[in-house]
């Protein structure tokens, strides 16, 4: 892995980013001959401050500083309703900035060097070249616990049909969505530019009458993923500060907490009752917020057990959340996600 | 904005006389054999979970 820390010398004369010298961005002491002294004051991720990139890329940097990849506001806003006011203050001060916020992506994390995840640092994407995209070394690192391994079939055993056809993350998740548009969104569900299935597959354009009818009948009552998610996906739980979470495969269908009345795929989120106990946060409103949230597993297939046979849902209610399959020790709010199916 | 302009000016003027090729950093970071010798594999605690 040492190759990830070797600069491609041919870039020195060809890439304008490197023309200013290393210490302009990375600081340190370029005159020192001792390793420790040379790295004294080193700034490992200079683009952690988007203003550095704003010198030449002002519009993108301005947008990016408000984007969810940079603010990680989704973490904060997702968990905050579980807290009392005093707990929220502790969370903001002791947990968010020190823990959750450390997961934000700098410009360089996607365009120069793979982000360091769980202490593993695979280094530069391409000899310190500034690259437009390299999803396997960027997206897959931060989103490698759940989404990416579902997408390429490492998890669940079924690669997403889009992956099989050669598509990459950015074919759906466009730059405007990744960089932001200057709006400080509270979470990814609120992002205006987020991709949708019908953006490429509009209703009424189906090739077969059977598909056309199925989509017309189910409409907004069933999400795309409820029928087209092809395999188990990863659910994480039992997250504790400083200790991480544990995971298990899952496939659960239930009410969409953000769209009452819609059946969709639900995914377990890592927060449990004592997740923040070390910080003195008991989560006063824990039971008010569900542990299962609507999620789009990235393991899409045209045909699944649900598209092949109506009975899978309408008779067997396969994968449906029930009282018996509620998360053990979960919030009371989970019960509202049980779909009372009318045959 | 003011800070951005200061950084821009600093980069422009500093860059006129300096380049990465002039720096000591690439003595090591441009030498694959040197980096191989210096490289230390990461040590990940057993309690570290996946992201």
**Is A79 contained in some domain?**
yes
Q: What is the mean predicted confidence (pLDDT) over A16-26?
A: 91
ipTM of the complex model: 0.76
Tell me which chain B residues have a C-beta less than 8 angstroms from the C-beta of A18. 19-20
Looking at residue B16, its pLDDT comes to: 41
Is the pLDDT at B5 greater than 60, yes or no? no
pTM given for the model: 0.87
The overall average pLDDT reported for chain A is: 93
Determine the residue of chain B that is closest to A270 in CA distance. B51
Looking at residue A156, its pLDDT comes to: 87
B20 touches chain A (CB under 8 A): yes
Tell me which chain B residues have a C-beta less than 8 angstroms from the C-beta of A278. none
**Is A338 contained in some domain?**
yes
Looking at residue A260, its pLDDT comes to: 84
Compute the distance between CA of residue A65 and CA of residue A296 in angstroms, rounded to an integer.
26
Is the pLDDT at A282 greater than 80, yes or no? yes
Looking at residue A103, its pLDDT comes to: 85
Touching A: B residues 22-41, CB under 8 Å: 22-26, 28-32, 35-36, 38-39, 41
Tell me which chain B residues have a C-beta less than 8 angstroms from the C-beta of A52. 7
Q: What is the mean predicted confidence (pLDDT) over A226-242?
A: 92
Phi, psi of B32 (to 5 degrees): -60, -40
Confirm if B11 and A56 have CB atoms less than 8 A apart: no
Shared domain for A91 and A17, answered yes or no, is: no
Shared domain for A271 and A254, answered yes or no, is: yes
**Is A106 contained in some domain?**
yes
Q: How many pairs of residues across A and B have Cβ atoms under 8 Å apart?
A: 117
Shared domain for A215 and A320, answered yes or no, is: yes
Determine the residue of chain B that is closest to A7 in CA distance. B30
Q: How many CB atoms lie within 10 A of CB A286?
A: 20
Looking at residue A118, its pLDDT comes to: 75
**Is A284 contained in some domain?**
yes
**Is A91 contained in some domain?**
yes
Q: Of A101, A100, A106, give the one whose Cα is nearest residue A46.
A: A106
Task: Inspect the interface and report whether the beta carbons of B4 and A246 lie closer than 8 Å.
Answer: no
Q: Of A11, A10, A40, give the one whose Cα is nearest residue A23.
A: A40
Residues in contact with A307: Cβ distance below 8 Å, sequence separation at least 6, in sequence order: A214, A227, A228
Is the pLDDT at A49 greater than 70, yes or no? yes
**Is A201 contained in some domain?**
no
Shared domain for A211 and A331, answered yes or no, is: yes
SS3 (DSSP) at A258: coil
**Is A200 contained in some domain?**
no
Task: Inspect the interface and report whether the beta carbons of A7 and B29 lie closer than 8 Å.
Answer: yes
Is the pLDDT at A326 greater than 80, yes or no? yes
| End residue of a domain, out of A28, A44, A60 | A44
Give the pLDDT band (50/70/90) at residue A210. Answer: very high
Shared domain for A115 and A71, answered yes or no, is: yes
Looking at residue A240, its pLDDT comes to: 87
Determine the residue of chain A that is closest to B28 in CA distance. A6
Mutate to test the interface with A, among B2, B14, B16, B49 (most CBs of A within 10 A): B49
Shared domain for A36 and A72, answered yes or no, is: no
The string of pLDDT tens digits covering residues A67-82 is: 999 999 999 999 999 9
Task: Inspect the interface and report whether the beta carbons of A2 and B38 lie closer than 8 Å.
Answer: yes
Shared domain for A320 and A291, answered yes or no, is: yes
Tell me which chain B residues have a C-beta less than 8 angstroms from the C-beta of A103. 51
DSSP-derived pairing of the beta strands A233-240 and A244-250? antiparallel
| End residue of a domain, out of A195, A218, A251 | A195
**Is A323 contained in some domain?**
yes
- Lowest-pLDDT range, A220-224, A332-336, B15-19? B15-19
DSSP A339: -
The string of pLDDT tens digits covering residues B8-43 is: 444 444 444 445 555 689 999 999 999 999 888 877
Percent of chain A past pLDDT 90, that is, above it, reads 83
Is the pLDDT at A343 greater than 70, yes or no? no
Determine the residue of chain B that is closest to A145 in CA distance. B51
Q: What is the mean predicted confidence (pLDDT) over B3-11?
A: 49
Instruction: Report chain B's C-alpha Rg in angstroms.
Output: 19
SS3 (DSSP) at A264: strand
Q: Which of B15, B28, B47 sits opposite A19 (nearest CB)?
A: B15
Shared domain for A182 and A77, answered yes or no, is: yes
Tell me which chain A residues have a C-beta less than 8 angstroms from the C-beta of B21. 9, 12-13
Compute the distance between CA of residue A250 and CA of residue A266 in angstroms, rounded to an integer.
9
The string of pLDDT tens digits covering residues A88-144 is: 999 999 899 888 888 899 999 999 999 988 778 899 999 999 999 999 899 999 998
Task: Name the domain count of chain A.
Answer: 3
Structure tokens at A116: 């360091």
Looking at residue B12, its pLDDT comes to: 43
Is the pLDDT at B50 greater than 70, yes or no? no
Provide the shortest C-alpha distance from residue A18 to chain B (in Å).
Answer: 6
Shared domain for A105 and A167, answered yes or no, is: yes
Strands in A194-310 per DSSP E: 233-240, 244-250, 252-255, 263-268, 292-294
Confirm if B38 and B32 have CB atoms less than 8 A apart: no
Domain that holds residue A10: 1-44
Give the pLDDT band (50/70/90) at residue B2. Answer: low
Shared domain for A69 and A160, answered yes or no, is: yes
Q: What is the mean predicted confidence (pLDDT) over A223-249?
A: 91
Instruction: Report chain A's C-alpha Rg in angstroms.
Output: 23
Shared domain for A113 and A187, answered yes or no, is: yes
Looking at residue A169, its pLDDT comes to: 95
Compute the distance between CA of residue B10 and CA of residue A180 in angstroms, rounded to an integer.
28
| End residue of a domain, out of A146, A168, A195 | A195
Shared domain for A340 and A312, answered yes or no, is: yes
């Amino acid at each position: 892995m040492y190759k990830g820390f070797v600069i491609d010398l041919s870039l020195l004369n060809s890439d304008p980013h490197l023309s200013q010298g290393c210490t302009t961005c990375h600081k340190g002491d370029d005159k020192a001959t001792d390793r420790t002294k040379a790295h004294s004051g080193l700034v490992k991720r200079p683009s952690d401050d988007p203003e550095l990139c704003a010198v030449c890329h002002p519009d993108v940097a301005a947008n990016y500083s408000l984007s969810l990849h940079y603010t990680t506001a989704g973490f904060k806003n997702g968990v905050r309703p579980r807290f009392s006011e005093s707990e929220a203050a502790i969370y903001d001060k002791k947990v968010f900035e020190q823990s959750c916020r450390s997961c934000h992506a700098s410009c360089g994390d996607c365009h120069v060097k793979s982000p360091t995840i769980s202490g593993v640092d695979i280094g530069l994407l391409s000899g310190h070249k500034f690259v437009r995209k390299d999803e396997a070394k960027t997206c897959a690192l931060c989103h490698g616990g759940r989404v990416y391994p579902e997408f390429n079939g490492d998890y669940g055993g079924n690669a997403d049909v889009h992956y099989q056809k050669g598509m990459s993350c950015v074919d759906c998740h466009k730059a405007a969505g990744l960089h932001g548009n200057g709006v400080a969104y509270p979470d990814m569900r609120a992002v205006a530019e987020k991709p949708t299935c019908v953006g490429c597959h509009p209703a009424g354009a189906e090739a077969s009458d059977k598909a056309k009818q199925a989509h017309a009948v189910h409409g907004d009552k069933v999400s795309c993923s409820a029928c087209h998610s092809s395999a188990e996906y990863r659910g994480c739980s039992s997250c504790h500060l400083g200790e991480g979470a544990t995971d298990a495969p899952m496939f659960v269908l239930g009410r969409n907490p953000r769209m009452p009345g819609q059946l969709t795929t639900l995914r377990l989120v890592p927060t449990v009752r004592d997740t923040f106990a070390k910080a003195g946060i008991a989560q006063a409103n824990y039971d008010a917020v569900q542990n299962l949230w609507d999620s789009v597993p990235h393991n899409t297939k045209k045909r699944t057990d649900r598209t092949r046979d109506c009975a899978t849902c309408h008779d067997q209610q396969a994968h449906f959340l029930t009282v018996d399959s509620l998360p053990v020790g979960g919030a009371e709010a989970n019960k509202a996600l049980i779909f009372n199916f009318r045959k | 904005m003011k800070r951005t302009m200061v950084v821009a000016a600093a980069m422009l003027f500093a860059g006129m006389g300096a380049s990465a090729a002039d720096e000591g950093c690439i003595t090591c970071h441009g030498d694959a054999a040197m980096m191989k010798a210096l490289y230390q594999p990461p040590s990940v605690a057993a309690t570290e979970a996946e992201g």
